[in-house]
Chains A and B, each alone.
Chain A
């Protein structure tokens, strides 16, 4: 499968625990995005990488969220001290260049109990 892959598909955790998600973009894509989607809403931008550089982070993203892309390939998104409001689908996407087609992964569904 040469598409964007995300792991895990589902994550159930207790409030206060830390979670980490992984995204593997399409191999030749140098741009990687994280979005969050709640039921009945469109994807909401969280952060963006060009190669290994994190170029933008949403003001909506609290300090509990951190993302990395250490070698410009896969990326991780960590949420510390999870809260029930963090429950959502976390989508990763990649593209070859700016304003080029964004390809999404299947997402990680997070449930915080």
Chain B
């Protein structure tokens, strides 16, 4: 079955710097890759997603890139702010499966 690896597990950056979180997936049939943000004690919330027919997608300060050949995708946050501090999860799924497989999460701390 699909397996998603995520790193780093923790990331500390200075406010205003960029943050990059990387994920790799095992099943080349995976074609949908969302990213979720989870603040302490709250539900995971979708922040951006990408499908395998595109290589990059941007939404204001957030971007996701996908390398299908290497089977990895990354989340990029620019001009980080303290409110970006949270746990971020990547996930992957494929058309033949109904479920999202999640990475183990990255705890991002943005220092003021």
Inside 8 A of B97's CB, which chain A residues have their CB? Answer: 56
A99-B32, A102-B34, A107-B43 known; A31-B102 Cβ under 8 A: no
| CB–CB B99/A56 < 8 A | yes
Inside 8 A of A4's CB, which chain B residues have their CB? Answer: 43
Among B34, B43, B46, B101, chain A packs the most CB atoms within 10 A around the CB of B43
Cα distance A106–B39 when bound, in Å? 11
Residue of B nearest to A92 (CB): B43
Inside 8 A of B105's CB, which chain A residues have their CB? Answer: 40-42
Cα distance A82–B20 when bound, in Å? 40
Q: How far is the CB of B40 from chain A (nearest CB, A)?
A: 11
Provide 29 A-B residue pairs closer than 8 Å at the C-beta atoms, listed in order of the A residue: A4-B43, A33-B99, A40-B104, A41-B104, A41-B105, A42-B6, A42-B89, A42-B102, A42-B103, A42-B105, A43-B44, A43-B89, A43-B100, A43-B102, A45-B99, A45-B100, A48-B98, A56-B97, A56-B99, A99-B32, A99-B51, A99-B93, A99-B95, A101-B46, A102-B34, A102-B46, A103-B46, A105-B43, A106-B42
Closest 7 CB pairs of A and B: A42-B102, A45-B99, A104-B43, A99-B32, A48-B98, A106-B43, A42-B89
Q: Chain B residues in contact with chain A, CB under 8 A? A: 4, 6, 31-32, 34, 36, 42-46, 49, 51, 89, 91, 93, 95, 97-105
Q: Chain A residues in contact with chain B, CB under 8 A? A: 4, 31, 33, 40-45, 48, 50, 55-56, 91, 98-99, 101-107
